[in-house]
Amino acid sequence: MGETNKIVILLPVLNEIENIGPLLERIRIQLSERNYVVCVVDDGSRDGTAEFLRAELARGDGHLHLIERTKSGRGSQRGGALFAAMKWGLRDDDMAVFVEMDGDLSHRPEELPLGLAKIESGRADVAIASKYLPGSKVTNRPMGRLIVSRICNWLVRGVITSRITDYSNGYRFYTRRAAELVAASKIRYGSPIYLTEVMAIWIAHDVTIAEFPSHYVGRNEGLSKLRFIDLVKASVGILEVATRLHLNKLKIEDSLQAEPATAK
């Protein structure tokens, strides 16, 4: 891949008025000489985030696309938002590199060139910004949350594969081919379990996956925000994904030209 490839950044947001402006500006600085678009999926923000984005579009920001949805039910629908943005990106035949980021500045735009280089070198189809590699750094995250994250990630590695160090970080880079594999799959989870489900799809198809050290910045994620029932649901979902992976139920037998599935 070369420097002219079109890049789409998939950015799910919900009430990020304090962060969205600085985030878009920092992305612009890093990609000022690249052909890119940020596809923001707003799941019903009530703090002015959507209004800010509409104003940016009205000013003629050609690097921005906005999808507005209304989130139904409790819990994060980050996976569903990512899937919707990815399907939008695939409509453009020139879109070559897909990047997933969070909208709260936990993922540093300054690492965009590093992740893009991993993909554009041709050495990997997927590149993950890992919190757990030597050289990685995590700041502004409470110790309790750090421990929970480590334990959960260790358990996922045990039931999926230990070759990947970080299943939970949503800072990911991947090729169009990798995106098409996901779009052609039957996605069952719109919650954050989507991250593991997509990774299992790539593993099932022997996609080349690389990782690189990353600096993760914690944002408003104390233990009080975690509900026991959410951890139980996540555990059940991860086991279901692992079962499908090991029973070879994630392979796509049909042509990749099939109509993309709809995230639930």
CATH of the domain at 187: 3.90.550.10
Is 260 domain-assigned? Answer: no
- Note whether 169 and 216 are within 8 A (CB): yes
Which residue range(s) make up the domain with 95?
A: 6-246
pLDDT at 262 (0 to 100)? 41
3-state secondary structure of 252: coil
pLDDT at 257 (0 to 100)? 38
Is 256 domain-assigned? Answer: no
Asked if the model's pLDDT at residue 254 lies above 50, the reply is: no
| C-alpha to C-alpha distance for 252 and 264, rounded to whole angstroms | 19
Average pLDDT over residues 234-263: 73
Average pLDDT over residues 57-70: 94
| C-alpha to C-alpha distance for 237 and 228, rounded to whole angstroms | 14
Average pLDDT over residues 111-125: 97
DSSP string, 57-124: HHTT-TTEEEEE----SSS--HHHHHHHHHHHHHTSTTEEEEEE--SSS-B-GGGHHHHHHHHHTTS-
Query: Which of 91, 103, 96 has the alpha carbon at shortest distance from 11?
Result: 103
pLDDT at 44 (0 to 100)? 92
Is 144 domain-assigned? Answer: yes
Average pLDDT over residues 169-186: 96
Record the pTM. 0.90
CB count within 10 Å of CB 204 equals: 18
3-state secondary structure of 209: strand
Is 259 domain-assigned? Answer: no
Q: Which residues contact 119 (CB under 8 A, 6 or more apart)?
A: 1, 97, 125, 126, 127, 173, 174, 175
Average pLDDT over residues 68-82: 79
Query: Which of 12, 79, 77, 15 has the alpha carbon at shortest distance from 52?
Result: 15
Asked if the model's pLDDT at residue 135 lies above 80, the reply is: yes
pLDDT at 147 (0 to 100)? 86
Average pLDDT over residues 257-262: 40
Asked if the model's pLDDT at residue 62 lies above 60, the reply is: yes
Q: Which residues contact 251 (CB under 8 A, 6 or more apart)?
A: 204, 205
Number of domains in the chain: 1
pLDDT at 227 (0 to 100)? 62
Is 263 domain-assigned? Answer: no
What tens digit of pLDDT does each residue of 217-235 get? 987 554 434 566 677 888 8
Is 36 domain-assigned? Answer: yes
Look up residue 259 and give its DSSP letter: P
What tens digit of pLDDT does each residue of 188-204 get? 998 889 999 999 999 99
Query: Which of 56, 58, 53, 55 has the alpha carbon at shortest distance from 69?
Result: 53
Average pLDDT over residues 48-75: 89
